[in-house]
Chain A
């Protein structure tokens, strides 16, 4: 028996910080038929297990923990009576915006959406994505799994810990495990720079005397049933272990914090164009993907360091989705003026800008390819440099941004390209 298809103006896929902010913004923009589909039994997403502080300074001008930050948005969604279905997992999105979801209560539900907001977040890069030798004993955790075990389940994953990868979750977990009475021997990072925020190196490693070994990686894992030791070696410029530098660390736990990957299985199935650099959808100034009426925001679009920026971006996506539903977007031959990322700029979000659709000011976010000191971030409209700003330090672990003015773009009707790059002077 086939149930009748439901209709909703806006379907938001995911009830984490991005989905919540998008749904609220869509509602506040005047489109009240908004529904959030969330596979977990509660809203808030990963913030529920991020019990550390540092969230919300930009959004709320105060320092909150993850659960507190999520609660603010959840409360707002409750005030607006935004419909949400928990325990409901989206299994398919079609190119004509039919969203199929499953839940224990309702079985399979199909919804025709006026607009879809993708807000599925990201996943941790698993061990299988790394060429780490050895058996597959117990005691190897991704940092986020360990974080869930400690902060949600109240279980300590181990007592003697080595962490591979210096992503923020790994750094946060180094401190968390230490506070829970475990000993963290070191954090090994294969790259010559940290993948996490500087503040986390200060307050999670330096505060507790935990060494950060840059240009080091795990070359051996001992133990058949449970991890017994790992061996760490220095790597050369080509990231190859240098013989003779091996140090053995007896331990019962190896934690991996080796990167996050936007979770775009649904987007890919729908036919959304995915960037090979961000692994998220290629979007325009409205955060619209290559499929009209399908928008993306938060960590499914590109991995953020700061939830405040996720909320900001998601609010924009939600408001644009509402605009798409109420006013419609005029169909155009092209997606807008391409934004080129080059000379140390790895990517930009958005990748296309249509000046007629952009707000007065548009934030373009990007990451750099390496660690840089005293470089200029430059914006070119065709061959004309219109922005040139010096940054003391830039690193791949920290997202950067430039703000473009609509008036600058509109003043150049034949503008063919926007370029964002780093320059030495």
Chain B
């Protein structure tokens, strides 16, 4: 049986817990070093299917106060799709009024995840 140990830094929050993930034949058998359940979940995902939340901005038309509205993927998306997400957003403009949580682009880059506003404008 092949045992593999991976040392990671949890990126869920600024505490940045140092994680040790143990894999047996490619299957995660344990995660240690985390101080919360999110760390355990991150450790398991990071070694099998790493995912990231993407945050960026799109221009907004018709707002008295903002040129840009900040947006994020509503959940994390596969790490390999980060650039697909930002390039699909490159041509998108939002229209005011827009509220936090409003969908700016549905199903971005075929991920099944929506891009939502994180600022009202």
Chain A residues with a Cβ under 8 A of chain B: 41-42, 48, 51-54, 57-58, 63-65, 67-68, 71, 150-154, 176, 179-180, 197-199, 201-203, 207, 305-306, 392-393, 398
Q: Indicate whether B82 reaches chain A with its CB closer than 8 angstroms.
A: yes
Q: Which of A53, A65, A68, A153 contacts B68 (CB 8 A)?
A: A153
- Given A67-B118, A199-B16, A154–B55 Cβ distance below 8 Å? no
A51 touches B52 (CB 8 A): no
7 CB contacts below 8 A, A to B, read A65-B118, A67-B70, A152-B67, A176-B56, A179-B54, A179-B56, A199-B9
A71 B100 Cβ-Cβ under 8 A: yes
Contact pick for A202, options B11, B38, B53, B57, CB 8 Å = B11
B23 at the interface (CB under 8 A from A): no
A306, B14: Cβ atoms closer than 8 Å: yes
Closest Cβ–Cβ distance, residue B93 to chain A (whole Å): 11
A-B contact count (CB 8 A): 90
A-side interface mostly: mixed
A-contacting residues of B (Cβ < 8 Å)?
8-14, 16, 18, 33, 38, 52-57, 59, 65-68, 70, 72, 79, 82-83, 86, 100, 118-120
CB-nearest residue of chain A to B46 = A202
- Can you add 19 more A-B contacts, CB < 8 Å, to A54-B14, A65-B118, A152-B68? A42-B65, A53-B72, A57-B38, A63-B53, A67-B70, A71-B119, A71-B120, A153-B68, A176-B56, A179-B82, A179-B83, A180-B86, A197-B14, A198-B16, A199-B11, A202-B11, A203-B11, A398-B14, A398-B16
**Contact indicator B14/A305 (Cβ below 8 Å):** yes
Q: Which 8 A-B pairs have the closest CB atoms?
A: A51-B70, A198-B16, A67-B119, A199-B11, A57-B13, A65-B118, A199-B16, A198-B9
Q: Are A65 and B55 in contact (CB under 8 A)?
A: yes
In contact, B14 and A153 (Cβ under 8 angstroms): no
- Max chain A CB contacts within 10 Å: which of B13, B38, B72, B120? B13
A151–B59 Cα distance when bound, in Å, is 10
How long is the Cα–Cα vector from A227 to B120 in the complex, in angstroms? 36
CA distance A195 to B52 in the complex (A): 23
Contact A199 B14 (CB under 8 A): yes
Interface centre among B16, B38, B52, B79 (most CB of A within 10 A): B16
Given A51-B57, A53-B72, A393 and B10 touching (CB < 8 A)? Answer: no
Please name the residue on chain A nearest to B73 by beta carbon. Answer: A53
Given the known inter-chain contacts A53-B55, A67-B119, please indicate yes or no for A392 contacting B13, CB distance below 8 A.
no
Contact B57–A199 (Cβ < 8 Å) = no
CB <8 Å contact, A52 and B67 = no
Interface pair A57/B16, CB less than 8 Å apart:
no
Which of B52, B70, B100 meets A151, CB within 8 Å? B70
Residues of chain B within 8 A of A48, CB atoms compared: 119
Contacts of A176 in B (CB 8 A): 56
A201–B52 Cα distance when bound, in Å, is: 14
Specify which chain A residues have a CB less than 8 angstroms from the CB of B59 in the assembled complex: 154
* Cα of A48 to Cα of B52 in the assembled complex, Å: 21
- Among A64, A153, A197, A207, which residue has its beta carbon within 8 angstroms of that of B16? A197
The listed residue (B10, B18, B118) touching A51 by CB distance below 8 A is B118
In the bound complex, residues from chain B placing their C-beta under 8 Å from that of A54 are 11-14
On whether the beta carbons of B68 and A151 are closer than 8 Å, the reply is yes
CB contacts (< 8 Å) of A51 on chain B: these are 55-57, 70, 72, 118-119
Complex interface: chain B residues within 8 A of A53 (CB) = 53, 55, 72
CB distance from A290 to the nearest CB of B (A): 31
- The answer to whether B100 touches A68, judged by C-beta atoms less than 8 angstroms apart, is yes
B67 touches A153 (CB 8 A): yes
Q: How far is the CA of A306 from the CA of B13 in the complex (A)?
A: 9
Q: Are B12 and A63 in contact (CB under 8 A)?
A: yes
How far, in Å, is A182 (CB) from chain B's closest CB?
12
A153 contact set on B, CB distance < 8 A: 67-68
B68 near A154: Cβ-Cβ < 8 Å: yes
Bound form: Cα–Cα A154–B14 in Å: 27
Query: A51 vs B57: C-alpha distance in the bound complex, in angstroms?
Result: 8
Report which of B11, B54, B57, B118 forms a contact with A68, defined as CB distance below 8 A: B118
Residues of A within 8 A of B82 (CB): 179, 207
CB distance from B119 to the nearest CB of A (A): 4
Q: Of B13, B38, B83, which is within 8 A of A199 by CB?
A: B13
Minimum CB distance partner of B71 in chain A: A51
Q: How far is the CB of A74 from chain B (nearest CB, A)?
A: 10
Nearest-neighbor residue (CB-CB) of A204 within chain B: B11
